[in-house]
């Protein structure tokens, strides 16, 4: 846990930190016994893995700090031990201790075939307790106890004196994991900072563990690569849609300006007759085309920012709006108006002043 506190204080890119302790145990109630896993966690665990409660509440701050005898059970445990009653507020014996149920998780859809063939843990059969409750009431490998010394002595002797099988199993289990925590899950707020953050954490743990690399850092590289491919495809699709939209919008601006030229032939002829240059007429119609496209760009930026905030607040999907993207939007809008306004402007400038004045 000292490593956890150091990581929280040092690494600025973390959004969630979830230390975990997993113990094999059993659950007893009303004469029924079932093997299960006791998982010591913080509330961040449920956010990282997107676990939702079907009933009850999560651990509060005081229950975490003092290690209260409370727990949250999986949906399958609720179905097995409380088929016809509400388990909230009831007690259940987990290992050698009685815990009060304060919440029930929603059912996680995992097929039995996947559990058997792939070795996936059935989260519906787990019991979740505050981390401090597990450390205080069950097992804290960080503490030096008489039992721990006895198991360490048995490991050094290699069980050569024929001790009982249960004690040998305990020694073997203790040999496999002497750390206080079984796992520490870190959630990074930005994917591109994942590799750098992992390297910093590795150096920090190596220094804190006195240059002994007794840990392993796993990065979901395959998932990250798949996410990157998905993002690239998404960007290509959006780029294609944006390109088609700009083409259609530009053609619409050009048609509007051509119609405007036909409606204002007399005006164009009058301007040319009193001394206006062809370049003046071209600039006038180009300016009008650019103003139309920029006005559409302003409306699009306002709608885009509004929908981005709505998506962030309603769907809980983070959106990033940069000043450079807004400037780029205006630039693209002005460019589209300029390109598609050239043809109507040149057509207006090429009008014969005398024919234009006679035009009806």
Q: Which residue has the tokens 């009193």?
A: 274
pLDDT of residue 237: 93
115 vs 350, residue with greater confidence: 350
Lowest mean pLDDT segment, chosen from 140-149, 206-215, 229-238? 140-149
DSSP annotation string for 206-269: HHHTTT---------HHHHHHHHHHHHHHHHHHHHHHHHHHHHHHHHHHHHHHHHHHHTHHHHH
Q: Which residue has the tokens 């597990």?
A: 134
The helix (run of H) or strand (run of E) holding residue 342 is helix 323-349
Q: Which of 145, 48, 57 shows the shortest CA–CA distance to 100?
A: 57
The two most distant CA atoms of the chain are separated, in Å, by 120
* pTM for this predicted structure: 0.62
159: left (phi over 0), alpha (psi -120 to 50) or beta: left
In percent, how much of the chain has pLDDT > 70? Answer: 86
Task: Check whether 143 has a pLDDT greater than 80.
Answer: no
Task: Check whether 319 has a pLDDT greater than 50.
Answer: yes
The string of pLDDT tens digits covering residues 259-280 is 888 777 777 777 778 877 878 8
352 vs 247, residue with greater confidence: 247
Task: Check whether 200 has a pLDDT greater than 70.
Answer: yes
- State the helix-helix crossing angle for 278-314 and 221-263, rounded to 10 degrees: 140
Task: Check whether 313 has a pLDDT greater than 80.
Answer: yes
Mean pLDDT in the chain? 82
Give me the mean pLDDT over the 180-196 stretch.
Answer: 85
Query: pLDDT-based confidence at 112, cuts 50/70/90?
Result: low
Lowest mean pLDDT segment, chosen from 178-182, 184-188, 314-318, 325-329? 314-318
* Alpha carbon distance 332, 245 (integer Å): 12
Calculate ∠ Cα 67-70-72, nearest 5°. Answer: 125
Q: Which residue has the tokens 């097992």?
A: 139
Give me the mean pLDDT over the 26-33 stretch.
Answer: 88
Q: For residue 327, give both structure tokens.
A: 């400037």
DSSP annotation string for 141-166: TTS--HHHHHHHHHHHHTTTT---HH
Give me the mean pLDDT over the 90-95 stretch.
Answer: 92
Phi, psi of 108 (to 5 degrees): -100, 125
pLDDT of residue 119: 52
Query: pLDDT-based confidence at 130, cuts 50/70/90?
Result: very high
Task: Please state the domain extents for the chain.
Answer: 15-141+177-192, 224-358
Task: Check whether 162 has a pLDDT greater than 60.
Answer: no
């Amino acid at each position: 846990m000292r490593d956890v506190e150091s990581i929280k204080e040092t690494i600025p890119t973390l959004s969630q930190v979830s230390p975990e302790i997993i113990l094999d145990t059993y659950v007893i109630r009303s004469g029924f016994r079932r093997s299960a896993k006791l998982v010591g966690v913080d509330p961040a665990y449920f956010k990282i893995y997107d676990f939702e409660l079907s009933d009850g509440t999560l651990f509060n701050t005081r229950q975490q700090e003092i290690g209260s005898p409370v727990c949250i059970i999986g949906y399958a445990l609720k179905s097995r031990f409380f088929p016809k009653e509400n388990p909230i507020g009831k007690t259940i014996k987990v290992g050698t201790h009685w815990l009060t149920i304060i919440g029930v998780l929603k059912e996680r859809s995992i097929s039995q075939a996947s559990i058997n063939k792939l070795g996936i843990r059935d989260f519906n059969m787990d019991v979740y307790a505050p981390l401090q409750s597990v450390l205080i009431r069950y097992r804290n490998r960080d503490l030096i106890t008489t039992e721990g010394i006895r198991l360490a002595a048995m490991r050094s002797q290699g069980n050569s004196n024929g001790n009982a099988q249960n004690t040998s199993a305990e020694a073997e289990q203790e040999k496999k994991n002497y750390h206080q925590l079984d796992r520490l899950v870190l959630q990074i707020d930005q994917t591109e900072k994942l590799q750098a953050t992992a390297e910093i954490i590795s150096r920090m743990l190596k220094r804190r563990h006195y240059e002994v690399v007794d840990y392993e850092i796993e990065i979901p590289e395959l998932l990250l690569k798949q996410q990157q491919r998905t993002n690239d495809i998404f960007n290509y699709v959006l780029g294609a849609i944006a390109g088609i939209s700009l083409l259609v919008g530009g053609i619409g601006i050009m048609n509007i300006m051509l119609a405007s030229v036909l409606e204002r032939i007399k005006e164009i002829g009058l301007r040319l007759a009193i001394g206006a240059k062809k370049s003046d007429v071209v600039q006038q119609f180009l300016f009008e085309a650019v103003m139309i496209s920029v006005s559409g760009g302003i409306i699009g930026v306002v709608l885009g920012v509004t929908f981005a905030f709505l998506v962030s607040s309603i769907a809980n999907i983070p959106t990033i709006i940069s000043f450079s993207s807004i400037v780029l939007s205006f630039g693209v809008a002005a460019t589209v108006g300029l390109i598609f306004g050239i043809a109507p402007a040149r057509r207006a400038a090429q009008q014969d002043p005398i024919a234009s004045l006679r035009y009806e």
